[in-house]
Structure 1
Amino acid sequence: MSEAPPSPPVERASTRLDAVRAIVRRYARENPVALIVSVLIVASAAATGSLWGEDASAWGAGPLATFASGRWWTLLTALAIPDSTVDAVSSLLLALTVLAYAERLLGSRRTGVLLVVLGIAGLTVGIGLHAAAWTLTDLRPVVAAEVPVLDPTTPIAGVVMAASALAPTLWRRRLRLVGFALLALFALYAGDADSWYRLTAAVIGLAVGSVLARGRERRSWHRSSTRETRTLLALLVAVVGSGPIVALVSGGGRGPLSLVVDAYTQYDDELLSRCGSVAQSVCDEQVALLMTRGAGPALLAITPLVLLLVSAWGLRQGRRSAWIVALFVLVSSALLPIVSLLDGRLRIDPWVDGSGAEYVLWALASIVIPLALAAALVVARARFTVRATRAAARTVAAVIGLAFLACATTLFVVEAVGRRSFDRELSVLDLLGLTLRRFFPPAFTNPGGGTAFPHHGPALFAYQWIGVLFWAIVVGAILWLYRRVRRPDAGDGARYRDLLRRGSDTLGFLGTWEGNRHWYSDDAECAVAYRLAGDVALAVADPLAPAGRRPEAVRGFSDYCVEHGWTPAFYSVHSETLDDLVELGWRHVPVGVETVMDLPGLTFAGKTWQKVRQPLTRAEREGYTAVWSRWHELTVAQASQVVAIDEEWVADRALPEMGFTLGSLDELRDRDVRLLLAVGPDDRIEAVTSWMPSWTDGEITGWTLDFMRRRTDGPNGMMEFLIAKAALELQAEGAVVLSLSGAPLADDPDEPVDGDPAPLRSLLRWLAEVLEPAYGFASLFRFKGKFRPRYRPLALAYRDPLQLPAIGAAVGRAYLPDASRREMVALARTAWEGRR
């Protein structure tokens, strides 16, 4: 096969530059308002100096700055000028991403109008509520004082929430759930005025969006309630875990729930100030915390919050171990202040000096919210059924136990050797108690008397960091445990074959290959073959289902994956299955093309078949024959020759052999697979092909080409010879379809090529170019074109665009599961040299 010479580097660089320009022009054409807002943010930040940290608060809005001073124009300037470099960068990114998405939903004109209207409305209402709250004495401790607000994200929040009403169901729920969770997080914990104004604009935008979407038809999108419950609870746990961190980063926070931050600080400033005049039993402990402060104690203090964030990650995947960790941390966090109240360590005199509301909010943040969330987890415990293997659980328990023993022993020895660095003499029992306390955050320890602490040396370093090291090991062990889950039974392969013989498409036989698992409906009439790569379940080819039940099979398999914490995806499905998936709200991207020959009436006559007819007649004239066989029917000599041909083919590339939907020598051994050998006059096998059957109503009506190998020193045209002979002889046997299988990452030549493809499509085309020197997918596709096939597009169907990176990685692992590091380097080198 002749190939076109590679394009010169300058031409390729020019092509890439043109592609980038086309993407930029398309973005500017679709998102003019987002670009204008981005330019306005940068220009206003540069003009006022806030871009490099200068104070621009004179342009801000607030109860005093806007209402009392009569500077009404600040309602506009506050929406365009950021107050800092960080604010400018974050606002710019939000404008170019989420605002651009909202503009595509709303339209540019409506987006521009809503930016102004919702921004002014959010500021006006927010400022009014701020002023009203400040007039109430009980709320003053938790209401931010007058600080002029500059925040371009306020109108963006309002517009995005308005646009969410017009988004598809998946993104509507995602925008609202994640959006309001983040907005509430900053408002309730950080508590600065701009967080509340931003939240107010979002609420108003939500109401406006419901008006804009009135009368619109909503497409239903199937989504398991299990997945919804897991996502919602994981998000709530993440908010509870990250909220105090936000408050800590923002200087302690002023939000109504920021009072809980005291439980996660190294020491209590207010208590220390009182210790100067009034002796209390906890003063020594607070002085110890103050004197030993640093990065290590700070990390130890927020360990419960880190554990909540780690558990939120596992809850989203349905992990039972994450459920246990979250429940333990939430209950412990809620019981801590209760115990402190009961033993007198924490004293509260409510309703004194107008602080009653503050104590109510403290109790809400510290006790009620953790207990309520823990109760919700208990109620929903049936949703978190993905368990780790017993061996993995035992391993984690052993690792944590050994880590504790090693860390505790090390700390005890270092403290014993460095006794002189302590402020007083310590007994063995004192050292032992001090050692145990260093594995718990400060808020969870409640000593009965004074606390000893080291002032310098190795003892101080161990005192600060040994607990952090232990909990780092614990977090790593939990994350490792998430990956070691019990896999359900792989399914009965014999039952899948029975359903396959009832009726299957041309690629259905791929589901019988080693490494695939099988899902069955409750009545065992529907089946899906899938390959599990990490947490992604790649369904191979089309589902097996009776007429009219394919959507049911798709939904059942998807629910099954969600139940086990997997991401479902359908790989290499035809248009019929794709239509059913699209109706259920799935998205898709082309991943290849199947080439199919219709056998009835095939003769290879005419000029258009000349490229096939010439190799066929030449091979027959030179004495070559096409011999049908099966692997178990081969003689020892024939089997040895086939193995040698395959080994020669693999060794010639020095690259990892691909699998998944590309068969290897192992798949030839199936008794249902037929082999067609090109045998020369001297009985030497020159080429070998394998053919997989497909059935209709129990009868074989088609065959699919899989394995193709030929000797590198053999005569040309052997593959054309074998495929042509297979077509004619299978036609005589009564077959109606001959599939030459799929060509990965190929485009249908019968369909017009999109001159301005979507980014993902562009990425796939680029990937095809990169892999071409290594595997020759495009060359193989052009070769199959000689047989004038009918083209059937193959697609990858996925439910959530955010899952595409994980799905792409899973496809790579499925195709190259056993590739060594040396082979991957060889693949990269071959691809690079082919691109030069």
Structure 2
Amino acid sequence: MTRHPVTVAFVVMIVSAAALTGSLWGADASSWGAGPLATFAAGRWWTVVSALVIPDSPTDTVISVMLAMTVLAYAERLLGSRRVALLLAAVGIAGLVTGIGLHALAWTVTDLRPVVAAEVPVLDPTTAIAGVVMAASAYASTLWRRRVRLVGFAALALFALYAGDADSWYRVSAAVIGLAVGERLARGRERRTWHRSSTRETRTLLALLVAVVGSGPLVALISGGGRGPLSLVVDAYTQYDDELLERCSRVSAAVCDEQLALLMTRGLGPALLAVTPLILMLVAAWGLRLGRRAALILAVLTLVASAVIPLLSLVDGRLRITPWVDGSGAEYVLWAVATVAIPVTLAMVLFVARGRFPVRATRRAAATVTGVVGVAFLTCASTFFAIEALGRRSFDRDPSVLDLVLLTLRRFLPPSYTNSVGVATFPHHGPALFAYQWVGVVFWAVVIAALLWLFRRVQRPDAGDGRLYRELLERGSDTLGFLGTWAGNRHWYSDDRACAVAYRLVGDVALAIADPLAPQDRRGETLRSFSDFCVEHGWIPAFYSVHDDTVAELSALGWRHIPVGVETVMDLPGLTFAGKAWQKVRQPLIRAEREGYTAVWTHWHELTVTQASQVVAIDEEWVADRALPEMGFTLGSLAELNDRDVRLLLAVGPDGRIEAVTSWMPSWTAGSLTGWTLDFMRRRSDGPNGMMEFLIAKAALQLQDEGAAVLSLSGAPLAEAPDTPADEDPAPLRALLRWLADVLEPAYGFASLFRFKGKFRPRYRGLSLAYRDPLHLPAIGAAVGRAYLPDASRREIVALARTAWEGRR
């Protein structure tokens, strides 16, 4: 209420007006509505105001309130309360007056009169909302500006062109005016250009167009046939069998009653079969957005079929268009545009843009889907034939074997596609009627499920040459770059093979790990090229555990970011453990040396059998002690120790027993080894205290003598640097991460580990997750979770939840 007072006030006005006029209870409030006759002819000019606050039904009230509490609230956040209050009135009235004027003008044109909604006074608060939201889009970020405008105008056009009621056209008028007003208000503001690839942009736009073509006839059907200029297309999706009805009109009522035929070919099953092409278009639109080649083929075939079948019906005389009473030929033009021109044009555009949809399914997946669809067809067809053959007595006449075969073929396609196939006959009752109405629906449900499954089974590009990545790593890398060499990671390279990005592919999310390997002057180019590579393959790109300089480059490209951890770094030149500040490190170091413990540098392949067995035992004890899933991704395990570039530092007691183990990953600067990063940390549960402080201190001193400049103690997931200011009102995702850190602390002790590393007085470097689209965050979050716990069993997940719950209590 404090942040969005205008939105709250508008909602109160809508509900109050609906209650006072009775429209909230279903009463007729059309006397308050606006229109050419009500506003202009009757002179009730005040209706241009009342029509903007009074809904015409309970459903309209609910929709108006929902839109106000969401998109209007978003507009108020962008524009401010005063501007929203002014624009609600000004743009709403202007849009309504303009729409009414165009409505009245259209009635003066003879050819347009049949497709112009008759005088029904309009009551619609969403008219003003549409105008204000389009005005506010000028102040949105580039991503959301394009998204609001594309989706908004697509939805508005869909209702206007197919449903065709006056409300829909008035909303379009208000939206256009709001768009112009917003551009005028935002003139002179600095607005960043969106740098994402044209491939993604093209996919989104084409998917949206296919979705509109698929949903438009559904909107017209739901609205009772529609009066929009494109609503004539619904004739191609009727659930009635025209061939059957034609036969009924030629024979006596004693043989076939037309009403009975209508009854037999109606119902949920036939209705779903009739609109199957529209549903397939929506499925194709989903796949097109992901760049799937299978979706392209599906969309083109469905669009061509939906255009050719009605055209053939018109040519052979089975489809007739009755001219309007005045003899106008406009209906022929509108029918041709809606039914033929739009699908054919869109199919041609998709074919020309086929290069934008290169993501192919694997051969095995394609073969599986082909087999499933084939088996489904044979099963459904044979079952249907058997049921109909056994239920011959339920038919209107005794069908022959050929009739049943042709009838079987007819029941797998919408009626408008099969008017010329076979002799129309139908069962009256019993299992035969049930199979008649539902067998096609069952088959297409299997097909759609198989297609959606196919969209998820795509060919993966080559994982990349890991040896080249190591070569680039040695030319220059940050402290966490060595994480990219771990098993499970893939590698992307620039065209000249001089830049690289390591990434983990989890589902459709490509999680780039750490900073890219690229010269400073090519880092922005590398980030953009890798992002384009991901988009080309239908993946969601995200950069995980990147430092501030990479975040800055991504921010310049329009990306957003959130903190996901902190890296602790020790600068080795001039490091000594003298002074009171180092007392917590110096004491364990001196005590361990006095008691005869030594720090031994080695590599995994240099360990003796006894030493290797002890390291494995220490690790297994550490994992078993928690009974929790062991995390991976950026947290190393025993598997990462077997690398010739990774050094081990062991704490060995006087008796030769290994008490603790650490591993250290290298980092390079300009071809020289300049740093080491701590990864693996394990110690015996029954060993002496202070072993980790001892090993890290000894590592710092030894590596300092070797000339290293940086010692990284690695990142602490979900941690925040001590000097991070507390947000009074953190962003929802930031608040969620803080809550998650608290929940996981009893299980994994991230915060405890971070505090432990603070003993070494490190320099803190923030680690962030960079993402391009806020709507991708749920998928990215799920991918990060799966990357950290890829092999967790149900028992381990339950143990994790129990530990977290007990810790919270």
Q: TM-score, normalised by structure 1?
A: 0.94
Match of 2:168 in 1: 195
Structure 1 position 263, deviation (Å) = 1.1
- 1:302-701 equivalences in 2 (<5 Å): 302-348=275-321, 350=323, 353-447=326-420, 450-701=423-674
Match of 1:155 in 2: 128
CA distance in 2 between partners of 1:41 and 1:272 (Å): 47
SS at structure 2 position matched to 1:549:
helix
CA shift in 2, pair 1:279/1:197, >3 Å: farther
SS at structure 1 position matched to 2:488:
coil
CA shift in 2, pair 1:52/1:820, >3 Å: farther
- 1:294-305 equivalences in 2 (<5 Å): 294-305=267-278
SS at structure 2 position matched to 1:440:
coil
CA distance in 1 between partners of 2:554 and 2:215 (Å): 37
Q: 4+ runs of 1 displaced by more than 4 Å?
A: 268-280, 283-287, 349-352
- 1:243 matched to 2:202: no
The aligned amino acid for 2:605 is H
CA shift in 2, pair 1:349/1:76, >3 Å: closer
Does 205-214 or 557-566 show the bigger shift? 205-214
SS at structure 1 position matched to 2:520:
coil
Structure 1 position 275, deviation (Å) = 7.1
- 1:59 matched to 2:41: no
From 60, 71, 86, the counterpart of 1:113: 86
SS at structure 1 position matched to 2:770:
strand
- How big is the alpha-carbon RMSD for the aligned residues of Structure 1 and Structure 2? 2.0
Structure 1 position 698, deviation (Å) = 1.2
- 1:741 matched to 2:710: no
CA distance in 2 between partners of 1:782 and 1:449 (Å): 79
SS at structure 1 position matched to 2:49:
helix
SS at structure 1 position matched to 2:133:
helix
| Contact 2:376 2:443 (C-alpha < 8 Å) held by counterparts | yes
The aligned amino acid for 1:666 is A
From 761, 766, 788, the counterpart of 2:734: 761
From 793, 799, 802, the counterpart of 2:766: 793
CA distance in 2 between partners of 1:605 and 1:139 (Å): 91
CA distance in 1 between partners of 2:712 and 2:498 (Å): 26
SS at structure 2 position matched to 1:672:
coil
Extract unaligned runs of 5+ from structure 2.
none
The aligned amino acid for 1:639 is A
Match of 1:19 in 2: none
Structure 1 position 150, deviation (Å) = 1.5
Q: Deviations over 1:788-824 (max 9, x none)?
A: 1111011111111111111111111111111122221
Structure 1 position 612, deviation (Å) = 1.3
SS at structure 2 position matched to 1:425:
coil
CA distance in 1 between partners of 2:160 and 2:180 (Å): 20
Match of 1:15 in 2: none
Match of 1:17 in 2: none
Match of 2:198 in 1: 225
Match of 1:722 in 2: 695
Structure 1 position 47, deviation (Å) = 2.9
Does 77-86 or 727-736 show the bigger shift? 77-86
SS at structure 1 position matched to 2:156:
helix
| Contact 2:406 2:422 (C-alpha < 8 Å) held by counterparts | no
SS at structure 1 position matched to 2:636:
coil
| Contact 2:242 2:419 (C-alpha < 8 Å) held by counterparts | no
Match of 1:825 in 2: 798
CA distance in 2 between partners of 1:531 and 1:614 (Å): 41
| Contact 1:288 1:451 (C-alpha < 8 Å) held by counterparts | no
Match of 2:57 in 1: 84
Match of 1:179 in 2: 152
What percent identity do the matched residue pairs reach? 79
Q: Deviations over 1:690-711 (max 9, x none)?
A: 1100001111111111111111
CA distance in 1 between partners of 2:20 and 2:246 (Å): 44
The aligned amino acid for 1:107 is G
| Contact 1:285 1:450 (C-alpha < 8 Å) held by counterparts | no
CA shift in 2, pair 1:553/1:285, >3 Å: farther
Extract unaligned runs of 5+ from structure 1.
1-27
| Contact 1:497 1:512 (C-alpha < 8 Å) held by counterparts | yes
| Contact 1:284 1:451 (C-alpha < 8 Å) held by counterparts | no
SS at structure 1 position matched to 2:521:
coil
SS at structure 2 position matched to 1:818:
coil
Structure 1 position 769, deviation (Å) = 1.1
Q: How many residues align?
A: 807
The aligned amino acid for 2:596 is G
CA distance in 1 between partners of 2:279 and 2:306 (Å): 13
Structure 1 position 335, deviation (Å) = 0.3
CA shift in 2, pair 1:269/1:332, >3 Å: closer
CA distance in 1 between partners of 2:259 and 2:775 (Å): 46
SS at structure 1 position matched to 2:601:
strand
Does 654-663 or 288-297 show the bigger shift? 288-297
Q: Deviations over 1:467-507 (max 9, x none)?
A: 11100000011011111111000000000000000010000
The aligned amino acid for 1:826 is A
- 1:32 matched to 2:5: yes
Does 67-76 or 727-736 show the bigger shift? 67-76
| Contact 1:190 1:254 (C-alpha < 8 Å) held by counterparts | yes
Structure 1 position 269, deviation (Å) = 9.9
- 1:124 matched to 2:97: yes
CA distance in 2 between partners of 1:278 and 1:60 (Å): 50
Does 72-81 or 360-369 show the bigger shift? 72-81
CA distance in 1 between partners of 2:118 and 2:277 (Å): 31
From 206, 229, 237, the counterpart of 1:256: 229
Structure 1 position 761, deviation (Å) = 0.6
| Contact 1:308 1:329 (C-alpha < 8 Å) held by counterparts | yes
CA shift in 2, pair 1:350/1:292, >3 Å: closer
| Contact 2:248 2:258 (C-alpha < 8 Å) held by counterparts | no
CA distance in 2 between partners of 1:138 and 1:594 (Å): 71
Match of 1:12 in 2: none
CA distance in 2 between partners of 1:270 and 1:118 (Å): 51
| Contact 2:88 2:129 (C-alpha < 8 Å) held by counterparts | yes
- 1:703 matched to 2:703: no
CA distance in 2 between partners of 1:724 and 1:45 (Å): 74
CA distance in 2 between partners of 1:153 and 1:273 (Å): 44
CA distance in 1 between partners of 2:65 and 2:347 (Å): 38
CA distance in 2 between partners of 1:44 and 1:142 (Å): 31
Q: Deviations over 1:658-700 (max 9, x none)?
A: 1111111110101111111111122111111111000011111
CA distance in 2 between partners of 1:124 and 1:287 (Å): 49
| Contact 1:284 1:450 (C-alpha < 8 Å) held by counterparts | no
Q: TM-score, normalised by structure 2?
A: 0.97
The aligned amino acid for 1:660 is F
- 1:264-279 equivalences in 2 (<5 Å): 264-267=237-240
SS at structure 2 position matched to 1:387:
coil
| Contact 1:137 1:354 (C-alpha < 8 Å) held by counterparts | no
The aligned amino acid for 1:693 is P
SS at structure 2 position matched to 1:544:
coil
Structure 1 position 212, deviation (Å) = 1.4
CA shift in 2, pair 1:279/1:497, >3 Å: farther
CA distance in 2 between partners of 1:278 and 1:163 (Å): 63
| Contact 2:618 2:684 (C-alpha < 8 Å) held by counterparts | yes
